[in-house]
């Protein structure tokens, strides 16, 4: 970034950022200028809808650098970050071990389009860490992983219908972008234009945590259902937990009717432990989908499961799936480094993350109770969500009945004071190993000031 004083002296700056030149006054910010330019060339000015800040009003800011638990925008302001690139940066931003790995591996080539040893090591690691996974296929995104898992389930069962749950988001493929949460809800359109009606008709959407509707559906249509796909802990409508016995019901009913159970662990996989939610709940899905953490911050995805199911994939089976950059050496090596660092030490990284999460939850709960604000705090390990409501959170309907206006005010008041939480009440927050108790205590001070200001 280059800066030069203008003819109006200190009141105006002429700045050049990554080849773009801006005339910035004291009353404007470089981020707002960058956003205006972005909107000329990128739809909505962003490359993923939730980044547009539509659900909180206002405009996004642009990041120049990030390190550890902090991010710094192009105006030079630093924030404690509880997004972590929406989950992948479990060690924090730019951890030395991961950046060194990327630099070293890149010297030997960035992508080959032919097998490399790193993808084999990653596949072996996933199979060793997740008992339900006997074989695994790499992709370049979580969306590709879930899309491919659905195709595989249909090909294996020779059935067409799939079941998903309202408020669970599994990426933006046509079969799954039906009554979706996360980015779709934030964008204000739960269903997307451009999805053919015939595609949507093959996806049955049920309310989450409703055993009666699930049982009734399978009694009427069970022989036609290829699979249930579910976020093991839904984390795209905030953070919602299954009621006791609910995940077990999904497992037993699919087995009874010959359907497959697909766990979407793109968010929870390798963040809540080596085996994700299925390890915590002692469950064995037929197919599991992963992403985020296993890429060390680079684009990545994976799906894996029973060997007889996975062997239906080309080149040895009839279900086609492919990807030019799948298993690329940079993402695989970066992810392996991150997984190794997570699992090393005594206690391991997962125990430390849970410790930090508990400290965060304790501080936030005490603050909310002191202020007398109706709230719900859902947390597991290093994942958390604050709801401005006193309702029990069982599904997306409960999430949408919280005080949205209070959330907006709280978001902006916190951001102004240097703490960045998700710009949507439908998103989960993430703590990294780069955070410490001092970061969290500082965050609680900011939250207290933010609440007092509104």
List active site positions: 169, 264, 292
Tokens coding 163: 């079941």
Strand, helix or coil for residue 234? coil
Tokens coding 330: 């940079």
**CB contact set of 402 (below 8 Å; sequence gap of 6+):** 387, 388, 389, 391, 425
CA quadruple 179, 181, 186, 192: dihedral sign: negative
CA angle 266–269–273, rounded 5-degree value = 165
Cα separation, 78 vs 83, whole angstroms: 14
CA quadruple 388, 389, 394, 397: dihedral sign: negative
Strand, helix or coil for residue 185? helix
Distances in Å between the alpha carbon of 221 and those of 195, 227, 236, 316?
A: 23, 12, 28, 31
User: What single DSSP character describes residue 432?
Assistant: -
Strand, helix or coil for residue 36? helix
Q: Count CB atoms within 10 A of the CB of residue 10.
A: 8
Cα separation, 381 vs 384, whole angstroms: 8
Buried b (16+ CB within 10 A) or exposed e, 298-315: bbbbbbbbbeebbebbee
The distance from CA 141 to its chain's CA centroid, rounded to whole angstroms, is 11
Tokens coding 359: 């400290």
Cα separation, 320 vs 157, whole angstroms: 15
Tokens coding 258: 């010959």
User: What single DSSP character describes residue 263?
Assistant: E
Q: Are 377 and 368 in contact (CB under 8 A)?
A: yes
Q: Count CB atoms within 10 A of the CB of residue 454.
A: 12
Q: Are 37 and 20 in contact (CB under 8 A)?
A: yes
Q: Are 87 and 293 in contact (CB under 8 A)?
A: yes
Beta-strand (E) ranges in 320-404? Answer: 376-380, 383-387
Tokens coding 344: 């090393």
The total number of residues written for the chain in this structure = 454
């Amino acid at each position: 970034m280059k800066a030069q004083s203008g003819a109006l002296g200190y009141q105006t700056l002429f700045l050049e950022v990554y080849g773009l030149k801006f005339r910035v006054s004291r009353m404007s910010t470089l981020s707002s200028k960058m956003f205006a330019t972005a909107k000329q060339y990128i739809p909505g000015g962003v490359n993923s809808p939730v980044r547009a800040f539509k659900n909180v009003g206002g405009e996004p800011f642009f990041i120049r650098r990030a390190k550890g638990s902090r991010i710094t925008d192009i105006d030079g302001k630093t924030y404690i970050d509880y997004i972590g690139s929406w989950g992948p940066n479990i060690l924090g931003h730019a951890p030395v071990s991961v950046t060194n790995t990327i630099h070293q591996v890149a010297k030997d080539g960035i992508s080959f389009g032919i097998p490399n040893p790193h993808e084999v090591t990653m596949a072996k690691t996933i199979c060793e860490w997740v008992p339900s996974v006997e074989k695994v296929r790499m992709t370049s995104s979580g969306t590709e992983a879930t899309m491919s898992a659905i195709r595989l389930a249909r090909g294996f069962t020779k059935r067409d219908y799939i079941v998903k749950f309202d408020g669970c988001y599994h990426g933006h493929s046509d079969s799954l972008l039906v009554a979706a949460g996360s980015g779709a809800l934030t964008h204000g359109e739960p269903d997307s234009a451009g999805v053919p009606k015939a595609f949507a008709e093959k996806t049955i959407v049920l309310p989450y945590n409703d055993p009666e509707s699930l049982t009734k559906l399978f009694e009427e249509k069970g022989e036609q259902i290829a699979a249930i796909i579910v976020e093991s802990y839904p984390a795209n409508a905030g953070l919602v937990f299954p009621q006791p016995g609910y995940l077990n019901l999904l497992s037993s009913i699919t087995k009874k009717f010959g359907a497959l159970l697909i766990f979407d662990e793109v968010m929870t996989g390798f963040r809540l432990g080596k085996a994700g939610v299925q390890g915590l709940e002692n469950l064995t899905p037929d197919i599991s989908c992963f992403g985020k953490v296993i890429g060390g911050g680079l684009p990545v995805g994976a799906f894996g499961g029973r060997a007889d199911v996975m062997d239906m994939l080309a080149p040895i089976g009839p279900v086609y799936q492919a990807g030019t950059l799948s298993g690329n050496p940079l993402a695989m090596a970066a992810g392996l480094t991150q997984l190794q660092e997570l699992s090393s030490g005594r206690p391991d990284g997962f125990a430390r993350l849970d410790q930090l999460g508990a400290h965060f939850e304790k501080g936030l709960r005490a603050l909310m109770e002191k202020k007398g604000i109706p709230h719900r705090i859902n947390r597991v390990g290093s994942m958390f969500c604050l709801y401005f409501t006193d309702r029990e959170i069982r599904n997306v309907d409960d999430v949408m009945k919280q005080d949205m206006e209070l959330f907006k005010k709280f978001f902006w008041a916190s951001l102004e004071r240097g703490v960045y939480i998700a710009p949507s009440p439908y998103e989960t927050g993430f703590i990294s190993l780069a955070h410490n108790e001092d970061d969290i205590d500082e965050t609680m001070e900011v939250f207290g000031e933010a609440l007092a200001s509104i």
